[in-house]
Amino acid sequence: MRAIDIKNGKGPIESMFMNDIALPKIDHAKALVKVKAFGLNRMDLMQREGLYPLPPQAPATMGVEFSGTIEDIASEGETGFKKGDAVFGLAYGGAYAEYIAVSTHMLMHKPENLTHEQCAGIPETWITATQALFLIGEFEPGKSVLWHAGASAVSISGQQLSKGNDASRVFATARSDDKVDFCVKELGATAAYNTETTNWSQEVLKATDGKGVDIIVDFIGPATFAGNLECIARDGRIVNLASLSGMKLTPEMAQPDFGNFFRKRLRIEGSGLRSRDETYQGKLRDSLHDHALPKFVDGSFKILIEKVFPWEQIQDAHRLMESNKTKGKIICTIS
């Protein structure tokens, strides 16, 4: 089969090329899916550069989310799936290819009113947002939530999940006024703040009458650490999913007041999705099915796509993702 490969195993955008590789084999509860579309994620950029440690069960081929049709299914596959079914799902890797072998525990049936391109943009971002909000953040109706990197795919999903499940207030941050406006006008955030031009943590405190926000989902790391401690509410939860501002605090960054840990009884927890075992990921799939799938079908939740590329233009797709100018998913289609 054809697949996107990387010369010498890692490198810049120009190192990606179309290659012929072996068709994946299925066993136990796996299905062989003919891929119609796959979504790009920031981890793909890191994996391409050799900076993302792969879980042992992941193939070398990039890509963790896809949609397509089942070509074959192993004997232990979940009941309810059969050859010919249109599905979408999450995998440990291998989606940048004509076929992918994936556990049926991580598949969902494609709704008829959604396209393959839309469905390929759901699994990674919406499951990550579901995990951060419900499993780690312990969200309950009436709590308030702040999503950093508000125009990123996961935060686009998270703001909708928060609002759709009766958060009292939903806040977001971004690094441009355009993205701030997008969070409020398109996603329905209560308020959003430009981290380059405002003291966003003070604005969150003002908007919550000094109480602070109950849950913060952060992808930035050191640059937002001090502000998070400042504007989190007592008994709050800070969920860290990435560290886009680097791995260490630097002198020019605001310095955190560690007394907030004790005064506010905080819990900060880091998490990743790809390293989780199949059982855990299956629970997240079920949670997504319960909390979001009906709202995709009735149109309440938006699957925002920035651009669709034919997969022969994978280099251009990676360039667009590296530009940090997107407000939605980048999807590639296979014809």
% pLDDT > 90, the chain = 88
In contact, 73 and 104? CB cutoff 8 Å = yes
CB 239 within 8 A of CB 216: yes
Q: Which of 40, 10, 38, 42 is nearest to 242 (CA)?
A: 42
- The candidate with the shortest Cα–Cα distance to 103, out of 77, 128, 68, is 77
Token pair, residue 100, equals 């992918």
**Cα separation, 205 vs 140, whole angstroms:** 20
Distances (CA, A) of 99 to 24, 66, 165, 231: 7, 10, 36, 46
Where are the chain's structural domains? 2-122+303-333, 126-270
- Euclidean distance between CA atoms 256 and 314, whole angstroms: 41
Which tens digits make up the pLDDT trace of 7-41? 999 999 999 999 999 999 999 999 999 999 999 99
Question: pTM of the predicted model, to two decimals?
Answer: 0.89
CA 161/CA 301 separation, integer angstroms: 8
Q: Which residue, 116, 126, 12, 6, is CA-closest to 62?
A: 6
Fold classification of 2-122+303-333 is Quinone Oxidoreductase; Chain A, domain 1 (3.90.180)
According to CATH, the superfamily of the domain at 126-270 is: NAD(P)-binding Rossmann-like Domain (3.40.50.720)
DSSP element (H, E) containing 125: helix 123-130
Q: What pLDDT shows up at residue 290?
A: 85
Q: What pLDDT, on a 0 to 100 scale, did the predictor assign at position 286? A: 87
Radius of gyration, alpha carbons of the chain: 20
